Amino acid sequence: MALKILICGGGISGNALAFWLSQRHDVTVIEHFPSLRYSGLQLDLRGPGIEVLRRMGLETAFRACTVHEQGLQLVDSWNRRWAWFAANRSGHGLQNFTTDFEIMRGDLCRLLYDACRDRVRYIFGHRVQHLEQTAHNVTVLFSDGQQDRFDFVVGADGLGSRTRRMMLDADAPDPLRPVGTTAGYFTMARELQPGEQYMASCYLAT
């Protein structure tokens, strides 16, 4: 029997789950952003992630979008290189900091969305306002005032998921634990100059 499933969050995890569940079930994805989000920087797949990609039949499309980063360098405050880790492009052995499956977050999100959008209902520009669970289903109130019932509701809306907070008791402990570390990760809109390498640079401040 097909189940009626709501996935909250149209990012990578939400779209990947929709890809698999929609093969047998009635799936809806709700995303509060008004369209598919292409923001975010690059990420890489390793181990099980690569195997899942292949089972999806998306490896060829994925490789057409990969980032050709040559490696990672550690630099000091004067941009002098102290260490260099080249990418492993051999297809064998352990991957390095830069892998053979490196892609921009937005490209992967679009790839997964395109692979399942014909069989998944997408709702953009709205979010879940309230959940009420019974022994048989979950009643969901959306931000536009509409209401619907689902067999399952999945919170795939990020690290600070609103959906998962609604599922927990009000006095449930916060699962996030700050460790006092700040990281900045960004790209620059600049074309590579002749002789320059396409690499990631990392500066560790203390």
Q: Is 136 exposed, middle or buried (0-12, 13-18, 19+ CB in 10 A)?
A: exposed
pLDDT tens digits along 64-113: 998 888 889 999 999 899 999 888 766 666 667 788 888 999 999 999 99
pTM across the whole model: 0.86
List helix spans (H) across 41-176: 48-56, 59-63, 105-116, 162-167
- The CATH homologous superfamily for domain 4-66+105-167 is FAD/NAD(P)-binding domain (3.50.50.60)
pLDDT of residue 90: 67
pLDDT tens digits along 157-187: 988 888 988 888 778 887 788 888 888 877 7
d(CA 148, CA 6): 10
